[in-house]
């Protein structure tokens, strides 16, 4: 690890990212992670997930910024492990150290807040940003889908959201976003 560095991108509000964390099998677990802008940046884990365990046991991970909707869906809704820490689709990445700074509960779910401090970073590709309604709908659909089995959320409301986001992807998304939504269908056992 190198000395403290800055984030490779500007953060405001809640920025959706992908994080890889090294597991006990020496493989990198891939998961979605919402970054809460601030000084320092924070993130939350919900329940005893692989990310929670790896943050706790390893003290860090590699946060990545990707525009690939399929990689995002797989990170949010499936178990995916890699040999290395950085996705091929990452435009930028930042290795972070993590420190637990809070524990709350949402119903029966433990919510841990972590401070994330950058220690190394890289920019793989400089891109001109575009705003894709299809990609945004895929991201929002993964949030709704990930909460389908959480008792504190109304399932019918979530299914309505999924149906709406599917319509947005059909009308405003490209082929890659449609493939990502098909992946959501494959990973989520629900009819909407």
| Ranges of each domain in the chain | 14-123, 133-187
Cα-Cα end-to-end distance for the chain: 46
CB atoms within 10 A of CB 105: 8
pLDDT at 166: 97
User: 14-123 and 133-187 share one CATH topology?
Assistant: no
Cβ neighbors of 58 (< 8 A, separation 6 or more) are 21, 22
| CATH code given to domain 14-123 | 2.30.110.10
Q: How many CB atoms lie within 10 A of CB 162?
A: 24
**For residues 97 and 58, what is the distance between their CA atoms, to the nearest angstrom?**
9
Model pLDDT, residue 4: 62
Q: 97-109, pLDDT tens digit by residue?
A: 999 999 999 888 9
> Is CATH 1.20.1560.10 correct for 133-187?
no
Do the beta carbons of residue 19 and residue 63 sit within 8 Å? yes
In this prediction, the residues of the chain whose per-residue pLDDT falls under 50 are 1-3
- Predicted local distance difference test score (pLDDT) of residue 135: 95
Q: Quickly count: other Cβ atoms within 10 Å of residue 175's Cβ.
A: 8
Q: Show Cβ contacts of residue 17 under 8 Å, excluding neighbours closer than 6 positions.
A: 32, 33, 34, 35, 63, 64, 65
Per-residue confidence (pLDDT) for residue 74, from 0 to 100: 96
């Amino acid at each position: 690890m190198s000395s403290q560095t800055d984030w490779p991108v500007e953060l405001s509000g809640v920025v959706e990212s992908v994080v890889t964390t090294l597991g006990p099998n020496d493989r990198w677990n891939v998961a979605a992670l919402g970054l809460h802008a601030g000084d320092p940046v924070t993130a939350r884990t919900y329940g005893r997930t692989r990310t929670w365990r790896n943050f706790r046991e390893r003290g860090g991970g590699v946060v990545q910024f990707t525009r690939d909707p399929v990689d995002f869906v797989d990170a949010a809704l499936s178990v995916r492990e890699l040999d290395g820490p950085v996705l091929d689709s990452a435009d930028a990445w930042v290795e972070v150290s993590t420190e637990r700074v809070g524990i709350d509960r949402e119903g029966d779910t433990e919510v841990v807040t972590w401070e994330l401090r950058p220690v190394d970073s890289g920019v793989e590709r400089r891109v001109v940003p575009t705003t894709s309604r299809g990609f945004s709908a895929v991201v929002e659909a993964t949030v709704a889908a990930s909460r389908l089995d959480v008792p504190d959320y109304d399932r019918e409301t979530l299914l309505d959201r999924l149906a709406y986001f599917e319509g947005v992807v059909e009308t405003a998304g490209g082929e890659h976003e449609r493939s990502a939504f098909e992946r959501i269908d494959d990973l989520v056992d629900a009819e909407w």
